[in-house]
Structure 1
């Protein structure tokens, strides 16, 4: 086994070890609007040369006891893969893994027999369940790949491994919060084995969308690109906000922006 593969597998295995959820650091709370802020510059960072990854939560060798996850949301990795490189075949189990490509393409192969190319506007969901192996590569000879990968703990363990991929056109997300993952599948929405609803939005400058976090639920908004504000709190690409209060989130774009919103039980 070469050194690069060993380093990657160590990183992935360690990412599976740290699974206990803890609250976000209270010092980042904006008291008057009930939001906890996770700035892009505060995230963990892994640089393997071919992979540059930023971690919202503890992952691999990055361990921060204040950032071990948020409710069932365990991982948000902001990954960039150089042309022609990628993740070799590696295992997962008992995790719902959602991938959202921002730029370039991602070539996927797994032990269920599925193989596909994931591009912007595609939503990919993999239920690891009792165990699955897969690889992910950047198939381009020239262009970098940029994608977000999220891991969500399932409500049940030892599920049957499953692969899903749906396309959600940009116009369907334009200036609205478009569901992309939910406990019940529907056209363009992948099924997730957890009380988690995931929305994507592409906002034009000056556009505003709103979402209500109901009592007993929790929200996490991840800015994928651009710049926007949530209830007056300014955010840039890589920033995130979270809330565990019943509240209405008003999301306003200062520039062309893309974001994901997680509404969690």
Structure 2
């Protein structure tokens, strides 16, 4: 087993006033050659957008972009004609492919939006762009890992162009749960959303990240009421 630990207070940080963003991996003006990616996981941004503010129209290409709202509502508009609002309890995927432009705004005047912005390198380049958004409320399970993303269109959650699986776990204190990897060549990056957990006697608190590879299973113990996002991804970039 090999692993890396990224404590919450070691992340890159940029406060633009309207946007307060923490970067688990190098992004924009934050550059750390030792934290460029975890396998095909390229970006994990923990963003807070102020009321009435947002990201203006900007382009992307050849990247799988996943947004997971944690609090509040975020309006999405893109060059394919999609106009929608993503809320806590939703997950959104934007496969940029050959190129797409989009904007994201917090239209609410009285509350901020908190969301995770995650970028994954695709396993194929220059594909037709696509967009999808679903509610994951019906997938929720207590004291279990429940899948919210996979490579397969017929599986639970959204799907992306990569051999990756995302799961969320919401656990009561004292619960221990094992996760089995889908592919032995993959690794797992666990991000603590709430509370604290332990993995192999390593304690992880809110917003800590733990990346591990060369394993077949991962055991997570909840040291308190806890919620985690588990991202299983290939360790080799195509």
Distance 1:185 1:54, change over 3 A: same
Check conservation: 2:180, 2:218, Cα contact below 8 A. yes
Match of 1:77 in 2: 45
Residue 112 (1) aligns with residue 80 (2): yes
Aligned residue among 45, 61, 76 for 1:93: 61
Residue 53 (1) aligns with residue 53 (2): no
Single out whichever of 244-253 and 191-200 deviates more from structure 2. 244-253
Distance 1:171 1:183, change over 3 A: closer
Check conservation: 1:167, 1:188, Cα contact below 8 A. no
Match of 2:213 in 1: 244
Distance 1:94 1:250, change over 3 A: same
Q: Scaled by the length of structure 2, what TM-score is found? A: 0.93
RMSD between superposed Cα atoms in Å:
1.5
Match of 1:65 in 2: 33
4+ residue segments displaced more than 6 Å: none
Unaligned runs of 5+ in 1: 1-32
SS at match of 2:9: helix
Check conservation: 1:93, 1:129, Cα contact below 8 A. yes
CA distance in 1, matches of 2:113, 2:141: 21
CA distance in 1, matches of 2:139, 2:152: 23
Check conservation: 1:166, 1:188, Cα contact below 8 A. no
CA distance in 1, matches of 2:14, 2:138: 30
Distance 1:170 1:45, change over 3 A: farther
User: Cα offset for 1:263?
Assistant: 1.3
Check conservation: 1:170, 1:202, Cα contact below 8 A. no
Match of 2:222 in 1: 253
The higher relative CO (CA closer than 8 Å, separation ≥ 6) is in: 2
SS at match of 1:237: coil
Single out whichever of 163-172 and 107-116 deviates more from structure 2. 163-172
Match of 2:110 in 1: 142
